Structure 1
Amino acid sequence: MVDKMFEAFEGRVNSMSVPNLHPDFTARFHHFGENSNIQDGGQIYCPEGVYIGKNVSIRAHYYFNIVTEDIETYPKIIIGDGCTSNPGFIISATNYVELGPHVEIDSNVFISDTGHHFRPVDNLALSQGIGANRNRVYIGEGTSIGEGAVIIGNLRIGKGSIVRPHSFVECDIPDYCIVAGTPARIMQVYDPESGNWIDVKNEEEANKRISIRRLQPLMSICLPTYNRAANLDHCLHAILTQVGNNELVEVIVSDNASTDATPQVVAKYREQYRNLMYFRNEENIGADRNIFQVMFKGAGKFIKLQGDDDYQIEGTLLPLLNVLQKHGDCGVVHVNVHNNDGQVYLNEGLPHFLAATSIMSTFITGTILRREDLLRVDTPEHFLDSSFNQMYIQYAILQHNPRFCIINRSMYRFAANDPSGYNFGNVVFRSYQSILNYFLGNGLSEQDIRIDKHLVLYNKIIPWFHDIIQNRKKTNTDGFEDIFSQFYKDEPYFEQALQWIRSIRASVSAS
């Protein structure tokens, strides 16, 4: 055991001691991403046609060959962000070979978009020319390619799939499938409902499993929208370019009778993505009711709400799917965008959820609900006109399924539209406190609520108020001081906080 540990350590040291390609050479690449490392000791023909993403790691020895040097069609080889490969990796590209982000390549893997003619048996294949010059190979994000595998032809390997060692792949592989053999066939299909890989005997059974998976994906992204066509365009692009036609994800847009180009924006994406659905209300039913309506249209194991002006950062959706797959028993999943340390942790109970999320449980884009538990809530519309009904639903779910998951990750960019359509003081004081008090004695104690009441005021509400006033946003703050006094007059810090609030408004008025 000690000898093996030493050998493994020595191997790592030797690997780390191999120098990387000289910067003069990497400068010739079509693109060479930051923090990428390609060890010296391989061969790359025509680096001008090779694109290397960020955080790529390629170990020697390797061989990248661009068969046809046509600079007008560069790049021909694309290695996506975060890809890794072990020694013996070979790519031969006549037209196009792309590895999506975070593909793992084991030792001695060969990938090519074409082969050679071999019709005259009396001539060497190498002298007979290539078999095709328009083929494309695409390997989806998060796929793992086993040792000694061969991938060749005009094909697509889906996201999150696994190619077993020494397999020969010559045709398409759907998302989230395990293949093996020569030629490779589907051996297992991922089932989002159980969270398991299910054995399949043949192609017919595999297709049946995949069809069932489309009916109940792992996640439904439910997107209410109204008259924000430009925001929606950006939002859908950020989502769909990551998940593509992924059977594990459906995207549902609920249009609240928009009068702008919203229908045309959705139609553009529906031409390409079959997992995008569109519903349009005959009349504007209000933001709260549109949010409520769309969450019940999803068929996924998890329902994820999404603001139309919150844009998913590249490379964050598939890791999110991985978290949901691992923690499929959680009733609520919360994305904590204010902490980007990447940690994922579990806990149970309303008091712990309140301490972990506070008023950020009202942030719809950070809200993910297990559909099974959502459907068990007796009165999901109880606080429907509060602007915070989604917060109430999370607490109601945790009453019968106390397990929740917190994901610390900044997953979104924000359009920074001014909050409008409601009174700020009314929602952050009256709505928020009313929902917490609803659960007083039913999961939350008076002490739980009073601790949060103090923290949320100083950590969130007053800073938000200051931002609104200082930057003269359109958000309605009429009566803010009066509503604050109504809900905080009995707190020992009331006078101090009231003076602070008044000074914020006075300082801006004076300027």
Structure 2
Amino acid sequence: MHRKTSIIILSCNTLELLQLCIASIHEYTESGTYEIIVVDNASEDGSAEWLKEQKDLRCIYNEENLGFPKGCNQGLEIATGTELLLLNSDTVVTKNWLKNLRCALYSSPKVGAVSCVANCCPHNQMIATHYENLEDMQDFAADYNKSNPELWEKRTTLIGFCYLFKREVLEKVGFLDDRFSPGNYEDDDYSLRILQAGYDLLLCRDTFIHHFGKASFKKNLSTQDVDEIAQRYNSLLERNGKLFEEKWHVSRDCWKMAPEELLPYLRQQVVEKEEGSSGAGLVAQKIAVLVRKTQEKRYGLCVESLRASRLPAGYALEIFSLAANKPYAAQVNEILSQTDAKIKIFINDEICLVSPLAIEQMLEIFRKENIGMVGFMGSRSLPVSGNFLEAPDVWGSVHMPMKGSLEEIRFGKAATHEFTTGVRFLCPSFFATQVDIPWNEDYDKQYYAVLAHCRAMEEGGQKMVVPLPREIWCAYQMENISFDSAEGDRRRYFAAYHSRLDDVLSSGARLALYACGKDAHVEGWQSFSHPEGIAVGARTRIHETALCRLLSDNFVGEPRISVGDDCAIDAYSTLTAHNRIVLENLVTVGANVQIKDYIRAEEDLGLAAEDRELLGHACGIRIGCAAEIGANVVIEGAVQIGCGARVRAGSVVKSDVPAYCIAEGNPARIVKTFSSREGKWLATPDEGVLTSLLEERKKTDPLLTYAFITYNRSRYLRKSLRSVLQQVGNDPLVEVLVSDKASTDETRSLVEEQQKRFKNLRYHCNETNVGAEGNIHCAMRASRGEYVIVAGDDDYILDGVLRFVLSAIVKHRGVALFCLKKEAVPRWVRRGTGILEYISYVGFLMTWISGIIMRRDLYLSVEEPQKDDDTRIPQVYLQLEMLKQNPEFAVLYGRVLAEGSGERMASGFNFGEVFIKNYLDILMAAGIPAYLLSQEKKRLAEDMIYDRLQKITKYHYDLPLDGIFDIMHEYYGEEPYYEEVVAKMKEILQEAGDAGGQADAEKKDAVNQK
């Protein structure tokens, strides 16, 4: 689609500035992508005469000064662009300014308007600059204006000096409110109208333009004139500020609020306008509320406060009671099985809601799908006592009854435009979830059940936050608060998440590690400084003499040292972080290695090392997946070591080491680089060869594409995407692709969020829903990898599997197919040749799309790739066709899937038709010999059909079994084991029927007893 920006400039007696502005637009904006509309508000400085001489401008000449809102509206009325830009005449634009702003504006359908930063601008849109003239300014801007989605901030208001918005916004919201003429607060008003219409506002901190500001208008004025103008300006500011507050019923300082805090107030305006209209036809969206009941009177007040809360139109509360004297987690799981509400509120009856907007603001926070839990109070670290309130980093707010009145208690201070802050442990008294994860019933009491649930959410990739609202959400009903906990639960929790803390209370240690993964070995953790800022992954081994330490007490939420899963750090090695040190998964660190993300200034004379200035960078040190650091290596400063890189023993590293490079020496230099084109390590005798090989790598297709096929299942995709990205990181040899069948949920925004961190992640969205089978082909065609895995969105790949796959591809490059065979054995590879061997080794696992790794060029050579799409398992046909072109294959044995994979069983088709009839039809069409077909039928029955029948009947999957015995007779009737197989199938179905009948009878008895 061709886009054009209508740039609308208001001018009144600013000729010199206007000329600079228009000249900069012409110089720094791509020709043909914009039109300039100038509205001259009765200038007396020759502006109109000059404008009439310009042939490339569209101009409006007013006989009187109509002010900013009315003048802008005149320009908007004649604008023809796909997006509209209000630009002050006292600005000078810069390189990439409009390109960057457009990029942000069209980054999501939810974005309605964007603006940039400047040297002179209110409301925190100003940045510090040090240039002295416009030439230097342009040099500064050329370096500054680099598009970076991580620097886009959601805002409540944007300043109108450079205000870009979509035409659809104008059509939906309308023109500027001319009641604010001649100017001031019209941009705040327009911002709130855009927010109220459901759009986001973005401040692009990756884009800078120069703004002369008020100083330019004082240039040729006397002191008296300046004072008079200032007086009139302040009077106008006060008048329009009051008008703004009367219109919106919010403070004129609302720009300091975060959108999620302000939006419920804006929606309230809509509700008041629509009051009295019929609610007929609204389908209530349920919010399940689980109230832990300890005392009748408190319970009544708690429930009353819930019912008094204001809910968005179409929402209703569904209230359940939890008994205080019964196991908490077990009760929760029982209620979760009874409700289909997405949002669940958990509240103890000692809490009452005091803000009518609490639930609505909570729902606004939950618009971000990666937020799994919201509470009113929490902490970022956990003391070894287990009491989060003893942590040094508690956040949140609550009213407490003190001597007959409520006292406001606040922990932490919100930054401007921030409504929430991230925590890791929530107070059990009041919180909510929007993601269902089963509660661990090993915990009897509430407190540690909630802490364990917080950790489960974190492990599932969900965030936990608490709000820092101006209007506190809730209040305790009593002064003395205690949590429902037990010593057995405490020991169980620390054994699960901090296994080295079993008897630590007597040691004098105060804070636990930020995280300590399952089966990690960190015997020396008590010698670490500031362990609350140090995270250790699962199965990682840190020698008892190795040290991790924070140089200062600067932990603020995210770990300063993060060691991934399956890492190894040998004896006497030390990691010291001033900013951040990250070791991704599978990193090996040899003995006596020193890693520190800073250096000391050397220019100072006569100062001890600890007194010299620390030099570092916020990005710190990152060591990529599967990198290897040899013994006695020193790494210091801001250094990035890519995945698969190796640093040989004794080296000193002070600069970056690219992925798949080998470095050695003091200072370390690259001596070898892996060539993906050649498939081997090549020597790099000088910088020229290294540069050439790295450039070649950029132009060479990745070795592997891991392609997800998905449709409206962002909940599952989030977990599966995380399981892949945490293994491959930004590996240049691996592409991660999401092929989306035109989802209408949060899929796109989920991927875009991850793309900010992972440059090898791509998103491909089909224009229409092409179906699951059609999406297989879309994913294959959209992929760039030499080999492609097309995977389901609920298959969670076990850590280390993709490293194993990548290694196998390099060693066995050229084969037509790899197959991942799920077996609980050490990983190994088996080569084979031909269709018959492939079926013998792999069998019905050919139907599991996530386990097949196809060579893309062979797929593209299949004449009719969609020939068997109607079978629902076209991947079986594709594998056979590819083996006809190249008979070589390899089977990769070992464990493949992480716990929880296949959460959502396939549904909507007949099990027998697809996995028995269609599968065997494809094999027979390929001319498989009778003896091998007979063997495969038996294996299919014993290893797949029996298992699936048990699961379908036990879990009531939507996979009809109609006609299955007719299919068995047709395809198995001549086999000697036919009777045996059918008898076993009937036995499974009979057992399931008996179990179901017994359950029905128990339910009937329970009803009769009631």
Query: Pick from 886, 906, 911: which aligns with 1:419?
Result: 906
Query: Pick from 777, 788, 797: which aligns with 1:312?
Result: 797
Deviations 1:43-62 (A, max 9, x none): 75455544443444445754
Deviations 1:382-425 (A, max 9, x none): 42321222122223333323332222213344243232232211
Q: Secondary structure at the match of 1:449?
A: helix
Query: Pick from 57, 69, 78: which aligns with 2:562?
Result: 78
Q: Secondary structure at the match of 1:422?
A: coil
Normalised TM-score (structure 1): 0.85
Cα drift, residue 506 of structure 1: 5.2
Deviations 1:221-277 (A, max 9, x none): 122222222222222222223322221111222222333333333333233322222
Deviations 1:408-444 (A, max 9, x none): 213344243232232211112221111211232xxx4
Question: Is contact 2:642–2:658 with CA below 8 Å preserved after alignment?
Answer: yes
Question: Is contact 1:327–1:405 with CA below 8 Å preserved after alignment?
Answer: no
Q: Secondary structure at the match of 2:614?
A: coil
- Work out the CA distance in 2 between the residues paired with 1:71 and 1:277: 33
Amino acid at match of 1:272: R
Q: Give the 5 Å matches for 1:341-352.
A: 341-349=825-833, 350-352=835-837
Q: Secondary structure at the match of 1:414?
A: coil
Amino acid at match of 2:924: N
Deviations 1:316-342 (A, max 9, x none): 3323322322222332211122x1223
Choose 377-386 or 358-367, whichever is displaced more: 377-386
Question: Is the counterpart of residue 97 in structure 1 residue 584 in structure 2?
Answer: no
- Work out the CA distance in 2 between the residues paired with 1:78 and 1:272: 16
Query: Pick from 720, 723, 731: which aligns with 1:235?
Result: 720
Cα drift, residue 180 of structure 1: 2.7
Distance 1:260 1:108, change over 3 A: closer
Indicate the residue corresponding to 1:429 in structure 2. Answer: 916
Unaligned runs of 5+ in 1: 1-19
Indicate the residue corresponding to 1:408 in structure 2. Answer: 894
Q: Give the 5 Å matches for 1:5-404.
A: 24=504, 30=513, 31-33=515-517, 35-37=519-521, 44-47=528-531, 49-59=533-543, 62=546, 64-72=548-556, 75-132=559-616, 134=618, 136-203=620-687, 205-214=689-698, 215-337=700-822, 339-349=823-833, 350-399=835-884, 400-404=886-890
Provide the aligned C-alpha RMSD in A: 3.1
Cα drift, residue 357 of structure 1: 1.9
Pair member with larger Rg: 2
- Work out the CA distance in 1 between the residues paired with 2:539 and 2:805: 20
Deviations 1:5-63 (A, max 9, x none): xxxxxxxxxxxxxxx99975697651455554467799754555444434444457545
Choose 42-51 or 343-352, whichever is displaced more: 42-51
Indicate the residue corresponding to 1:11 in structure 2. Answer: none
Deviations 1:104-140 (A, max 9, x none): 2233322111122232323333332433474511212
- Work out the CA distance in 2 between the residues paired with 1:483 and 1:365: 27
Q: Give the 5 Å matches for 1:454-473.
A: 454-473=938-957
Question: Is contact 1:333–1:407 with CA below 8 Å preserved after alignment?
Answer: no
- Work out the CA distance in 1 between the residues paired with 2:758 and 2:560: 25
Cα drift, residue 359 of structure 1: 0.9
Distance 1:453 1:107, change over 3 A: same
Cα drift, residue 451 of structure 1: 0.9
Choose 104-113 or 209-218, whichever is displaced more: 209-218
Cα drift, residue 79 of structure 1: 3.2
Q: Secondary structure at the match of 2:890?
A: strand
- Work out the CA distance in 2 between the residues paired with 1:305 and 1:316: 15
Distance 1:70 1:289, change over 3 A: closer
- Work out the CA distance in 2 between the residues paired with 1:186 and 1:121: 34
Amino acid at match of 2:850: T
Question: Is contact 1:115–1:152 with CA below 8 Å preserved after alignment?
Answer: yes
Question: Is contact 2:616–2:638 with CA below 8 Å preserved after alignment?
Answer: no
- Work out the CA distance in 2 between the residues paired with 1:410 and 1:439: 29
- Work out the CA distance in 2 between the residues paired with 1:33 and 1:262: 29
Indicate the residue corresponding to 2:313 in structure 1. Answer: none
- Work out the CA distance in 1 between the residues paired with 2:623 and 2:844: 41
Question: Is contact 2:797–2:896 with CA below 8 Å preserved after alignment?
Answer: no
Unaligned runs of 5+ in 2: 1-499, 998-1010
Question: Is contact 2:675–2:682 with CA below 8 Å preserved after alignment?
Answer: yes
Distance 1:346 1:378, change over 3 A: farther
Question: Is the counterpart of residue 488 in structure 1 residue 977 in structure 2?
Answer: no
Amino acid at match of 2:949: F
Distance 1:344 1:375, change over 3 A: farther
Amino acid at match of 1:481: F
Deviations 1:460-490 (A, max 9, x none): 1133123213432211322222222221222
Question: Is contact 1:41–1:61 with CA below 8 Å preserved after alignment?
Answer: no
Distance 1:344 1:193, change over 3 A: farther
Choose 27-36 or 428-437, whichever is displaced more: 27-36
Choose 356-365 or 161-170, whichever is displaced more: 161-170
- Structure 1 vs Structure 2: percent identity of aligned residues? 28
Question: Is contact 1:192–1:301 with CA below 8 Å preserved after alignment?
Answer: no
Cα drift, residue 496 of structure 1: 3.8
Q: Secondary structure at the match of 2:690?
A: helix
Distance 1:205 1:43, change over 3 A: same
Indicate the residue corresponding to 2:982 in structure 1. Answer: 498
Q: Which has the higher contact order (CA 8 A, sep 6+)?
A: 1
Question: Is the counterpart of residue 474 in structure 1 residue 953 in structure 2?
Answer: no
Choose 128-137 or 296-305, whichever is displaced more: 128-137
- Work out the CA distance in 2 between the residues paired with 1:26 and 1:290: 58
Distance 1:351 1:211, change over 3 A: same
Distance 1:495 1:175, change over 3 A: same
- Work out the CA distance in 2 between the residues paired with 1:212 and 1:219: 17
- Work out the CA distance in 2 between the residues paired with 1:149 and 1:308: 41
Question: Is contact 1:223–1:306 with CA below 8 Å preserved after alignment?
Answer: yes
Question: Is contact 2:704–2:733 with CA below 8 Å preserved after alignment?
Answer: yes
Cα drift, residue 306 of structure 1: 0.7
Distance 1:416 1:86, change over 3 A: closer
Q: Secondary structure at the match of 2:854?
A: strand
- Work out the CA distance in 2 between the residues paired with 1:26 and 1:212: 56
Q: Secondary structure at the match of 2:575?
A: strand
Distance 1:379 1:234, change over 3 A: same
- Work out the CA distance in 1 between the residues paired with 2:910 and 2:651: 61
Deviations 1:295-314 (A, max 9, x none): 23222121111101212234
Cα drift, residue 95 of structure 1: 2.6
Q: Secondary structure at the match of 1:224?
A: strand
Distance 1:135 1:408, change over 3 A: closer
Normalised TM-score (structure 2): 0.45
- Work out the CA distance in 2 between the residues paired with 1:486 and 1:385: 20
